[in-house]
Structure formats: structure tokens, C-alpha cells
Amino acid sequence: MRGFNQILFGGLALYAGVAAVPAKKDSSTAAATTVTRGASTIVMKEVGGIAGNECLTFRNNGEIVDAACVNNAADRQVTPSTSASGANVLLVQRSFDAGFRPDLVGKQACVGFNGTDFKAVDCAASETQFVSLVGGELTSGTACQSGHDSAAQLTVDTTGSKCVGVTLTTVTPTAP
């Protein structure tokens, strides 16, 4: 490895000495192949949520519950953003660890719909049905957030006949 680095470094130095190095593509640009982050990060507060615990919060396992509105907590924050294919997505601010969500370690997480639940999923997973804000409601196709259950867990109406809204507070994103 040391030998390789020395060769590489030497090669670059030689190259730089010979002529102007052509503009190198920024590796951070190249890596941003999935979601283009939007400008505003928000906390979503469920209209008619549990009094004192109305803010949508991502659990360690990526499921969403109503909890206290700690607006500067990363697990309350999402950023309306754009997927690689141009879909509206909600980029999840918090990170996830290998103990709970090995599939999300080091990945961009988006709110997705798995047929029954809205929760954090890999933004780049091909089967992902994204959830976005439409008319102030969390929506995925015909499905919408219908409220929460007795365990404060977000509930979904797959037909979209009973939907609840969320109010939005713009926040400074907290490091995940």
C-alpha cells in the first residue's frame, strides 16, 4: 500500500509539473447520484396529533411515531428533496445504525411506503414508493397518513379517504 501511494503521489507530482492538471470532477458531485437535497429542512407536526407529542419522529428502526416537538433533534427533521428520477421525496435527516437498520448505514434515507407503513427506506432502492407532502399531507400514490395508533405510531389509509395534515416548521438541520 505504501509503495502504491508513493508511486501515485510521485506520478501526480510529475503530472502537475508537466502541465496544468485538467479540472477534476468533484467527487462529492459524483456521489450525489440519488437525491438532490432541497433548500429547506422541516419538522412536521400532526394536525390532531397527541397533545404535547405531535411531531413526527423517526425511531431507530425507521418507523415513525408522534413525539415531543424537539425541533433541533435530527430525528424530527426531513428535507423535501428531489430523487434521481425527479420524484418529490422527503430526505430523512437522522442516521441509522447497523444494530437497527443495517440497510441504511451510510445511505440517504427517504420516507417510503411499503404497502402498509410510511417509514425510512433507502432512497436508492429500486422498489421504493416515495412519500411526499401533497397539499400539506403525507402522501404516496393514493395512500396518505391517516393519523396515529394507540402506540403513537403513524397510521396509513391506503385508499386516501381519511387523511390528516401536518403543519411545517422550518429548522436549521442538525448533524445526523
Is the Cβ–Cβ distance between 53 and 46 less than 8 Å? no
* Ramachandran class of 98: left when φ > 0, alpha when ψ lies in -120 to 50, beta otherwise: alpha
* Interface map 118-137 toward ligand NAG (x if CB under 6 A): -x------------------
Residue with Cβ nearer ligand NAG (117 or 137): 117
Least Å distance between CB 12 and ligand NAG?
A: 48
Is the Cβ–Cβ distance between 63 and 100 less than 8 Å? no
Least Å distance between CB 40 and ligand NAG?
A: 27
> If DSSP codes are grouped into helix, strand and coil, which group holds residue 80?
strand
Residue with Cβ nearer ligand NAG (114 or 170): 114
Asked whether position 117 contacts ligand NAG by CB under 6 A, the answer is yes
Between the alpha carbon of residue 160 and those of residues 142, 156, 164, the distances in Å are 5, 8, 10
Residue with Cβ nearer ligand NAG (60 or 116): 116
Sort 165 into a burial class: Cβ within 10 Å, 0-12 / 13-18 / 19+: middle
Binding test (CB under 6 A) with ligand NAG, winner from 38, 50, 59, 63: 63
Asked whether position 17 contacts ligand NAG by CB under 6 A, the answer is no
Interface with ligand NAG by CB under 6 A: which residues? 63, 114-117, 119
